A and B are shown apart, each in its own frame.
Chain A
Amino acid sequence: MAHKKIIPYLLILPIVLLYGVFIGGGLVGIIQESLGHIPILGLKGFTIEYYSTAISQNYFLKSLLYSIYIAFTAAVIATVLGVVIAYAFVTCENEMVQRVVKRALQFGLIIPYLYGVFLAMILFNQTGFFARIAYSVGAIGEPASFPELIFDRKAVGIIWVFVFKGTPFVSLFVMNVMGRIGNTYGDVAKSLGSGSLTILRKIYIPLASNSIVWASSIIFAYALGSFEVNYLLTSISPVPLSAKLYSLFIHPDLTVIPQTMALSVILFIIGGSVVGLYSVLLSFLLKGRI
């Protein structure tokens, strides 16, 4: 029966290859270049000076913190909204409403991020839709007095896109799990006199916590490292780390390459760790305290 033992290894072979070659190999590739070994440019030998250059740039810490701020805010808002919607959905007894809501959420899920950026431009610009409404009701006298919601330092526009895209993701995902929890627990709790907030906190969230943590961490990671939203809606300063990385990547000066790669290794490792930390904290919060 030796061949039976091989089966699981054959089954996991594709994914091990895929991850090993592209994630593992990719990390090795960028580490090598970040250490300054790029024979085609005549750069040989290894040095860590590019890391110190990358870190000592005055934008580095600012950009990193800014990116974490964006990711954290977006992930928290999307998670809270998503969970509340999912809960309202599974406990709502109107099938008609459920159907409409599910469609709307699916719709939000399939809109590409790129298009989210486009919507943000149409809606939140100082001459955007909301500014026009504010003008027509007399709330503002001219476009410039409408608050800056995109290309702004608080990154409202960027966060909005991630929330707009993240909320349906979280809620659809969590909804599935909550739907399976069934109403039995809820009915018991209700008969014992618990309010719906307590039921959500004491029953639904702990039971769905794994999925919530998973979905929320994905939003967090995406907001931290995605290119198009950060790049297209950023303010001039501070600039999210991923947008900065792209500017470096297309920099016309070839000697900047090792520094670019060093920054990308840093984003890989620090970013990955921050996401890990976020999910550990979140799962501690959901399982331990509430």
Chain B
Amino acid sequence: MKKTILVFISLIMIFPMLIVLLLSMFSYYRFPLILPQHFTNTFWKTAVVENPLFVSSLANSIVLATCNGICSTVVGIMTARALVRHEFMGKRVVRMFFTLPLFIPAMALFLGVHSVMIRLQLMNHCSGIILAHMLISVPYGINIFISFFQGINRDMEDVGKTLGCTPITLFSRIVLPLIMPGIYLSFSISFLISFTEYFSTFLIGGGNIITFSTMMYPYVHNGDLGNGAVLGIIFISINVGIFYLTEYLSRKKLKIDSYLFE
């Protein structure tokens, strides 16, 4: 029974993509045809080869998402470390409010962020977009690392300390390897958030920095099935690729993971 439900759910998740795949390759789809007909490669040609924005937007997206992945992960580690291992004034406040950006309606949040960006002259700049994306990815990073730091046996660090490790060696030799799977996870989630984010990218990039999402938006807005399908397939393949890559990397580290969580 449970199995049937689970398999059924999986099918529901996957099957729209099959139709999309067909739509990217067949041009004639007048009602009431169930499946499209007339094989064509025009959509792939117009959306990829003849599209002058294709390469640049893809490159922009990857650069922004990578930066966001790295920055959010670093900030996530720092904040989570402070929350788990240190005592400081305002700890309760930080603990309560680090998820705040996820709870504020995005439109209002970004219109505010936008007004700050204008003042700081970060509008139309990649760095502005990265900062905006960090706001909505850092909370996930912190959340991940809190559970990782909590999972690390404190004794292990104490042993290191008694053996005379400097805090830096301690971190790089003991803590970092232990949280490596978390780093991969946090990176891939932040990458994904930045890669898929449309509104803040468009708003703060001012149309000047075109990413894959902002390039795809008009096709969806206009209901252009063929070209939209092609771009969507590429979009999703890249994200699937990133997910697999980080998962593969973190599986290599699983040996440590297995004695981490009892």
Write the residues of chain A forming the contact surface with B, with a CB cutoff of 8 angstroms.
Answer: 5, 7-9, 11-12, 14-16, 18-19, 21-23, 25-27, 29-30, 33, 84-85, 88-89, 91-92, 94, 97-98, 100-101, 103-115, 117-119, 121-123, 127, 129, 131-133, 135-136, 143, 168, 180, 214, 217-218, 221-222, 224-228, 232, 242, 245-246, 249, 261, 264-265, 267-268, 271-272, 275-276, 279
Contacts and interface: CB of A to CB of B under 8 A. Distances in A.
B6 A92 contact: yes
Contacts of B55: none
Chain B interface size range: 35 or more
Interface stretch (B62-70, B155-163, B174-182, B233-241): B233-241
A217 B101 CA distance: 12
Contacts of B126: none
B228 A242 contact: no
Contact of B105 (A9, A29, A133, A224): A224
Interface in B108-128: 108-109, 111-116, 119-120
A228 B105 contact: no
Interface string B120-150: 1000000000011011001000110000000
Interface of B: 2-3, 5-7, 9-11, 13-14, 16-17, 19-20, 23, 31-34, 74-75, 78-79, 81-82, 86-88, 90-91, 94, 97-109, 111-116, 119-120, 131-132, 134-135, 138, 142-143, 192, 195-196, 198-199, 213, 216-217, 220-221, 223, 225, 228-229, 232, 235-236, 239-240, 243, 261
Contact of B14 (A91, A107, A118, A245): A107
Contacts of B106: 221-222, 225-227, 242
B197 to A, nearest CB: 8
B32 A132 contact: yes
B239 to A, nearest CB: 4
A12 B108 contact: no
Nearest to A101: B6
A109 B19 CA distance: 19
Contacts of A214: 99, 143
A29 B79 contact: no
A232 B219 CA distance: 12
12 contacts: A11-B82, A26-B115, A29-B119, A30-B111, A33-B115, A85-B9, A101-B7, A110-B236, A121-B220, A123-B16, A225-B108, A275-B104
B103 A114 contact: no
A29 B2 CA distance: 52
A30 B10 CA distance: 43
B78 A15 contact: yes
B108 A264 contact: yes
B81 A11 contact: yes
A242 B103 CA distance: 15
Contact of A218 (B3, B19, B97, B102): B102
Given A225-B104, A228-B217, A264 B236 contact: no
Nearest to B225: A122
Nearest to A110: B239
Contacts of A106: 243
Contact of A30 (B87, B100, B112, B142): B112
Contacts of B100: 19, 23
Contacts of A136: 32, 34
Contacts of B9: 85, 101, 104
Given A12-B79, A113-B196, A119 B16 contact: yes
